[in-house]
Amino acid sequence: MNIHSIHHAQLAFRAGDEAQIRRFYNQLIGLTEFKAGHQPVSGTPLRFVAGQQRIDLVPTDNWQPNPIPSHLAFEVQDLPSLRRRLLSAEVELEESRPLVGHLRFYVKDPAGNQLEFLEPDASQASTV
């Protein structure tokens, strides 16, 4: 057996918050929603494409936020542009945890899932 990539990550959100989740993942962070050839019905996961991987967001009636250490990390190009877009949408960024060799910040999606966005920064000396 040889594992070569992550197929998808699955995160929960409160049922009924589909519009907020779509806006955040599609309009604010720029992921394309993947539709499997049928019209979504209530309770159907929302799926977004991230490179060759997928992020599935599942509506849950008994939703609870993930503990803080749990998060999904995205490596992006042009992190400053994404940062400006999120700030202009009044999304709170957490930027107090530097990572040598990278620019990065954390945000929470409308469901409270913690997301990390990072980009290699050649101007920083890397010790790794």
**Mean pLDDT of each 10-residue bin along the chain, 128 residues long:** 68 92 95 74 82 90 77 89 95 88 91 89 68
- pLDDT at residue 86, as a whole number: 95
Strands in the chain per DSSP E: 8-14, 32-33, 46-50, 53-60, 72-75, 102-108, 114-120
What would the DSSP string read from start to end of 85-121? HHHHTT---B----BTTEEEEEEE-TT--EEEEEEE-
For residue 106, list its beta bridge partners: 94, 116
What does the alpha-carbon distance between residue 16 and residue 8 come to, in Å, rounded to a whole number? 22
| Ramachandran angles phi, psi of 90, nearest 5° | 60, 35
Distances 125 to 79, 80, 101, 119, 128 between C-alpha atoms, Å: 18, 19, 6, 14, 9
Of 30, 23, 32, the residue nearest 84 (C-alpha): 30
Q: How much is the pLDDT for 38?
A: 57
For residue 101, the model assigns a pLDDT of 87
The secondary structure of residue 40, as a DSSP letter, is -
Domains belonging to the chain, first-starting first, are 8-120 (3.10.180.10)
Spatial strand order of the sheet with 114-120 comes to 72-75, 114-120, 102-108
